[in-house]
Amino acid sequence: MKADWVARISDRVEQHVCQVKGEHATIICASGLSPSGTVHLGNMREIMTVHLVSEELRARGWQVEHIQFWDDYDRLRKVPAGIPESFASYIGQPLCEVPDPFGVYASYADRYITEFSESIAPLNLPMTQVRQSIAYREGRYTHKVKLALAQRGEIFDILAEYQTRQEQQETVSERRAAYYPYKVYCEACGKDTTQIQHYEEATASIDYSCQHCQHSGAFSLNEKNSGKLVWKVDWPMRWSEAQVDFEPAGADHSTPGSSFTVGQRIVQEIFHSPAPQYAAYAFVGMEGRVKISSSVGTDASPANALSILEPAILRWLYIRRANNQPFNIDFGQGLLRLYDEWDSLVRQVAAGKVNEANLVAYQRAIQTSLGAVKRAERTVPFSLLTSTLDVTQGNLEQVLRIATQSLKEEEPLTPAQLEPRLTCAANWINNYLPEDERTFIRASFDAETYAQLGESEQEALRLLVAEFEGAWNLDALTDLMYRIPKQVRGLPTDAPATPELKQAQRAFFAAIYTLICGSDTGPRIPTLMLSLGKEKVKSLLDPNGASVVSEPA
């Protein structure tokens, strides 16, 4: 079999590690996110890429650590959608110092880190989380910061090679002399609107001034760290300090002069460490929307996705597309198709008819080194669950009865056997199905609509009302639905599906939908009827008024 994208990246990482560390080294794979807002499903692509490669390398016998770096020492750049405009006063302060907008967590960063960490637990992602605010302030990076400041001229030269020529009032020499790859957070106002005036290498002392509050201050890196390296230097510094062997990033980081291009030079020439292996990943979008972005507001968080998707299926979304292929996630009707595709794969695996590539993707989706990933024990079609929940208004007893019939189970299914799919279906109905797509059920028989039907449709409805009580299960009702139009036309039950017969069946179905739902379409009719119960169906289809049916629906 041709290696999938996970295996191909793992091959490169493995070869790299053998060359620079040796065969018995621990492989360090890294991902990095900024808690500048809700961590969304686009951000998840970075973490899932690193996770999948890490798992593949573990399966090959390597010791692997996945480090998730939280850039909570970055500045607040702008106020995201949904956050009070008053938070503009905190722009320029580190995310770890900005208060939680809703007063629950210790800080702005704490909110989004905690929400994300708790939400992804069902995905079984083993990782070590490192907060950059703690790492900087504890002095873990101080020796690297000193090195960068000592070689600030060399760093400027590297960056200048990739900068476009612009009109500058200062000469290159003047800009080089004034350049510092480090931003101080003002000790008075907390913002990074500062300029370093002087750095004394012998004592690691920094003199700075703040443009925002006009404060002037000084401190020694030997005593504390009140700032951080600028991004294009911070990233390679982190590679060097953690000895990172693999870290992916979005495609925008891969262009000439981008963070990764510059970072490769800096990590080798300034920090004297090998550059990690790299893979660019394409963006993840929402169906019918622009690229997902936490700064403009989005409901595309892992928590929301896992409220309607089994964890194994969400993992599969990231597995089945190569890292450089963009894909969209549809929280609407496309979700039903996604479940159908997954269920088809599950059936192929069970029957031993799946190809090797799909089998590998399936195995990556359902199992990690932490154990099995949650998925429904019995794969009742998601569309069946959603339509039944919708029509019955969440009647669990009826849902379980119809689900049991659907799978032809001898014993009644239990809610536990359908979880987490059952809850996902209920959440989708309640939170994502638009009101105009919900199934409307008439309150009583519509005589006017019935009178407008053709004689063939009326005769078919009379037969249906007369016979459905003895066919009250999914298979029998389905057979009845296709048999009655043939019976009305005097055709044998095994008559071929001619265009004329298909048209007659469609007219019959439309008549049922119109009388029950006030529309010519709706959920599968057998599911619809079973969901409503015999008494309700008779009351809507029988023009003469159906007798009350006392037995259970």
For 100-122, b/e burial (b = at least 16 CB within 10 A) is: ebeeebebbbbbbbebbeebbeb
Tell me the C-alpha distance between 225 and 222, whole Å. Answer: 8
Helix (H, G, I), strand (E, B) or coil at 495: coil
Residue ranges in the chain whose pLDDT is less than 50: 288-298, 546-553
On whether the CB atoms of residues 422 and 378 are closer than 8 A, the answer is no
Give the torsion through C-alpha atoms of 412, 417, 423, 428, to 10 deg: -80
Among 514, 523, 513, 533, residue whose Cα is nearest residue 472: 533
Residue 184 lies in a domain: no
pLDDT tens-place string over residues 416-432: 999 999 999 999 999 88
Would residue 551 count as lying in a domain? no
Q: Does 315 lie in the same domain as 267?
A: no
- Both 388 and 354 in one domain: the answer is no
**Helix residue ranges, H only, 34-88:** 44-59
Residue 146 lies inside a defined structural domain of this protein: no
Contacts of 9 (CB under 8 A, 6+ apart): 49, 53, 246, 277, 279, 323
pLDDT at 1: 62
Q: Is the residue at 99 inside a domain?
A: yes
| Residue that is last in its domain, among 372, 393, 424 | 372
Predicted pLDDT at 389: 96
* 355 and 397 both lie in a single domain: no
Say if residue 318 is in the same domain as residue 350: yes
Same domain, yes or no: 115 and 19: yes
For residue 174, the tally of other CB atoms under 10 A from its CB is 11
Q: Which two tokens stand for residue 121?
A: 């637990």
- The residues near 59 (Cβ < 8 Å, ≥ 6 apart) are none
- C-alpha 387/C-alpha 516 separation (Å) is 14
Q: How far apart are CA 130 and CA 113, in angstroms?
A: 11
Shared domain for 253 and 322, answered yes or no, is no
Question: Based on the domain organization, do 327 and 247 belong to the same domain?
Answer: no
Task: Give yes or no: residues 256 and 117 share one domain.
Answer: yes
User: Residues 492-502: pLDDT tens digits?
Assistant: 988 998 999 99
DSSP-H helix ranges across 60-171: 108-119, 132-137, 142-150, 152-161
**Nearest-10 crossing angle of helices 499-517, 534-541:** 100
The answer as to whether 174 is a domain residue is no
Give the pLDDT score at 316.
98
Cis upstream peptide for 101 (omega within 30°): no
What is d(CA 117, CA 333) in angstroms, rounded to the nearest whole number?
28
Q: Look at residue 45 and tell me if it is in a domain.
A: yes
Nearby residues of 313 by Cβ (< 8 Å), 6 or more positions away:
338, 339, 342, 365, 375
Could you tell me if 433 and 453 lie in one domain? no
Residue 179 located in a structural domain: no
Domain total for the chain? 4
Give pLDDT, residue 403: 94
What is the rounded distance in angstroms from the CA atom of residue 140 to the CA atom of residue 444?
A: 73
- Is 263 within a domain? yes
- Both 293 and 263 in a single domain? no
Query: Rounded distance, CA 117 to CA 7, Å?
Result: 27
Sign of CA dihedral 511, 445, 399, 423: positive
Q: Say if CB 284 and CB 292 are below 8 A apart.
A: yes
Are 108 and 46 in the same domain? yes
Provide the pLDDT for residue 434.
Answer: 84
CATH code at 514?
Answer: 1.10.10.350
Token reading at 104: 């629950």
Closest C-alpha to 336, from 298, 395, 390: 390
Q: Are 150 and 182 in contact (CB under 8 A)?
A: no
Domain that residue 352 falls in: 288-372
Give the integer Cα–Cα distance in Å for 397 and 395. 6
Residue type, 503: Q
Q: What sign has the CA pseudo-torsion 16, 19, 20, 21?
A: positive
What CATH number is associated with residue 83? Answer: 3.40.50.620
Among 318, 345, 372, residue at a domain's last position: 372
pLDDT of residue 550: 38
110 and 242 in a single domain? The answer is: yes
